[in-house]
Amino acid sequence: MINIDRFLADEQDPKAVEKVAGKLNDLLTSGEEILYLAVQKKPAVNILPDCIAISNKRIFYCSPSNLGLTMNFKDISWKNIKEVSFKEGLLGSKFICVPQSGENIVTDFIPKVQVRKLHQAANQQLEEYKEMLRQQKLEENRASASSFNMPTPAATPVIELPIEEAIIIPETPVIETSKEDEIEQKLVKLKTLYDKQLITREEYEHKKAAILDSM
């Protein structure tokens, strides 16, 4: 069972969380868990709010229907998501999911504190999925290179040359990356995240200061 108490810390609607959590509990697969749950808060009437749940495998979009008697669930797995972002406004914030194909999925009227944590959880899971793909690709390349370099059954005989006829290949110097270059790369990457509105100005300045302090 999903413990709803951990999803009420940011003023989520308790009734909406309880109803959605009960339904999500039946939809989770083996090894899947809900990491964060955000609830829409409309400026006028907020009787039937939409909810967004982040799991370690996908994003759930939960919308009540039939005057709240039923609930519609849509989900999108991390492999089908290109990026996530959010945009803060006066009447609430928008959570934006950019799929690999198709139109963006935009949910508005998410409270500011919730949309930030929602984005943080989603972005972290997306980065972990991308890192897993990079590691898998690296392992595949290593396996392919190892298979390519394996000797064939009929090995070509080795011809030994006299020492004076041997060709000496000079070693290629190893170019080491300085700490300044690493810090510069981190700052460039951090600025890119800020320009894409993936992090706030406050987070950008905090992380920038931490990087500069490491010099």
Q: Please write the tens of the pLDDT for every residue from 11-41.
A: 899 999 999 998 998 899 999 999 999 999 9
Number of structural domains, the chain? 2
Query: Residue 198's pLDDT is what?
Result: 83
Domain containing 194: what range? 183-215
From 81, 100, 128, the end of a domain falls on: 128
Residues 27 and 117 in one domain: yes
Strand spans (E) along the chain: 34-39, 51-55, 58-65, 70-77, 81-89, 92-99, 105-110
**pLDDT higher than threshold 80 for residue 176:** no
Residues 120 and 187 in one domain: no
- Name the residue with higher pLDDT: 184 or 173: 184
Could you tell me the CA-to-CA distances from 197 to 52, 190, 202 in Å, in that order?
20, 11, 12
One-letter identity of residue 121: A
Is 159 a member of any domain?
A: no
Domain of residue 71, CATH code: 2.30.29.30
From 128, 151, 174, the end of a domain falls on: 128
The single-letter DSSP state of residue 2 is -
Candidate from 83-87, 90-94, 109-113, 171-175 with smallest mean pLDDT? 171-175
From 86, 106, 128, the end of a domain falls on: 128
